[in-house]
């Protein structure tokens, strides 16, 4: 298959496979390669059009009989954390997030394996090696960053580089209109901290600081309990056949 950059992207369709989210459903995806000097621009356009990125591939669902996967983005300028989210922020006030170039480390991979072994033992990523992890982080032609969340060392100054325990990691794309969360993981033994929620709230704050309007959360799958959390971050927009429309959790779009 040709992966060289071309003036216009070439799209391909996957064969049907068992849906990992909804029982009894089959999934198909349309995808293209994100390579060459226009990769970042193309990633912006495709993400805004409902695609997601995995390494140097942009994909979106193209299922024959199901439209349950819906792209979600948070409207950061209007967002106000609910009481439970404010408690999460307070509980994690001792964590410092630092953005780095997309470079893997042994420490990151160790945390990644602990997360997979606890949360995704039967998932498609369950057998990923250190090399697989490095490829996931590094194989990008777009503006990708990795954010390390570490426990603040007592006595460290505001400008000091945090050297405390690595508690969570987020791989995210910096786009023209916001941040797109590609993948995140955390120490599974720290459930009480709600680190998944904390990382989303941190991305909202970072995006607002950048003066950009959106945080892209990927797909909300209607009917999938494990995807329900994405609708908690209001207000948000969902991509419909009519374009991006405001969504209300109690009343739909």
Give every CB contact of residue 24 below 8 A, 6+ residues apart in sequence. none
Class of residue 127 by CB neighbours under 10 A (exposed 0-12, middle 13-18, buried 19+): exposed
Note whether residue 90 is domain-resident. Answer: yes
Tell me if 198 is assigned to some domain: yes
Enter the DSSP assignment of 252.
B
Is the same domain home to 48 and 135? no
**Chain-centre distance for alpha carbon 179:** 9
Residue 152 belongs to domain with CATH number = 3.40.630.30
Give the model confidence (pLDDT) of 34-81 as tens digits.
999 999 999 999 999 999 999 999 999 999 889 999 999 999 999 999
What is the distance between the alpha carbons of residues 179 and 106, in angstroms, rounded to a whole number?
Answer: 25
When divided into structural domains, the chain yields a total of: 2
Q: Could you tell me if 60 and 146 lie in one domain? A: no
- What is the residue range of 35's domain? 12-67
Average predicted confidence (pLDDT) for the chain: 90
Same domain, 139 and 51: no
CA gap 25, 11 in Å, rounded? 23
- Let me know whether 113 and 33 are in one domain: no
Q: Is residue 225's pLDDT more than 90?
A: no
Q: Using the predicted structure, report yes or no on whether residue 253 has a pLDDT greater than 60.
A: no
Does 6 reside within a domain?
no
Residue 5 domain flag: no
pLDDT tens per residue across span 151-174: 988 766 555 565 789 999 999 999
């Amino acid at each position: 298959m040709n992966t060289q950059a071309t003036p216009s992207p070439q799209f391909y369709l996957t064969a049907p496979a068992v849906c990992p989210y909804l029982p009894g459903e089959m999934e198909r995806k349309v995808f293209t390669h994100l390579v060459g000097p226009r990769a970042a621009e193309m990633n912006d356009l495709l993400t805004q059009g409902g695609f997601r990125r995995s390494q140097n591939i942009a994909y979106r669902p193209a299922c024959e009989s199901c439209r349950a996967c819906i792209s979600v983005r948070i409207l950061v300028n209007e967002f106000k954390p609910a009481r439970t989210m404010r408690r999460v922020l307070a509980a994690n006030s001792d964590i410092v997030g630092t953005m780095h170039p997309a470079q893997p480390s042994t420490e990151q991979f160790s945390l990644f394996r602990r997360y997979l072994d606890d949360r995704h033992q039967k998932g498609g990523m369950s057998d990923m090696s250190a090399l697989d992890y490095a490829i996931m982080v590094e194989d990008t032609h777009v503006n990708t960053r990795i954010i390390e969340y570490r426990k603040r060392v007592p006595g460290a100054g505001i400008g000091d580089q945090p050297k405390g325990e690595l508690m969570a990691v987020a791989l995210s794309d910096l786009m023209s209109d916001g941040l797109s969360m590609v993948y995140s993981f955390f120490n599974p033994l720290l459930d009480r901290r709600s680190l998944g929620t904390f990382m989303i709230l941190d991305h909202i704050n970072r995006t607002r600081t950048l003066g950009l309007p959106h945080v892209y959360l990927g797909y909300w799958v209607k009917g999938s309990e494990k995807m329900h959390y994405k609708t908690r971050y209001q207000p948000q927009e969902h991509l419909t056949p009519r374009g991006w429309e405001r969504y209300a959790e109690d009343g739909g779009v």
